[in-house]
Amino acid sequence: MQTSNNSQVKRPFPVNFDFQIGEFDIADSAISAERMFADDVLVFEGHFPQNKILPGVMMIEYVLFLGETYLREKQMKNILTEILSARFLSPVTPGMKVNCHCEFAEKKGQLLMKATLSYAETIFARIKVSYGSAV
C-alpha cells in the first residue's frame, strides 16, 4: 500500500471552498483517506446554523475527489459517468473525523467505485459511482 500526501485538490464550488483530501493510502484497487471536518468549515455555516451537519453533496464531493486522486495516481483516463446511489445514514457534525474508503472494480466495460464514509462503528454514507473510458 502506498501512502501519499497530495493534500489539496481544488475545484470550483458554489461556496468557493477549497477541498482538502489530506493524506491517503492507495492500493491496487482501493484508496482510503481520513479527514476531520472542523467547525469553521464554510459549508457548516449555511447548513442548519443552529444544528450544523455536513451536506450530503459534500460527502459526495469527498468521494469524487478520492476517486479522481485514485485515477490520477494509477494514470487512468476514466471519466465520471454516473452517481449510481448515495445513501446518507448518519450525520457528520463539526469536529468529527470521517474515514473514506473507496474500492474499484471493472464490470461490463465500466469502472465501478463503492465508497463508505465512516468512523469507528458509525457509517455516515455509502456512495456508488461509475466511470467510463475517456475516448
Tens-digit pLDDT profile for residues 88-106: 999 999 989 999 999 999 9
pLDDT digits (tens, 9 = 90+) for 46-69: 777 788 899 999 899 999 989 999
Looking only at the bridges linking them, the beta strands covering 30-37 and 19-20 are unpaired
The pLDDT of residue 16 is 38
pTM: 0.83
Cβ neighbours of 22 (radius 10 Å): 12
Beta-sheet strands, E only, within 1-135: 2-4, 8-9, 19-20, 24-26, 30-37, 79-88, 96-107, 110-119, 122-132
Domains of the chain by start residue, with CATH: 2-132 (3.10.129.10)
Cell of 62: 469527498
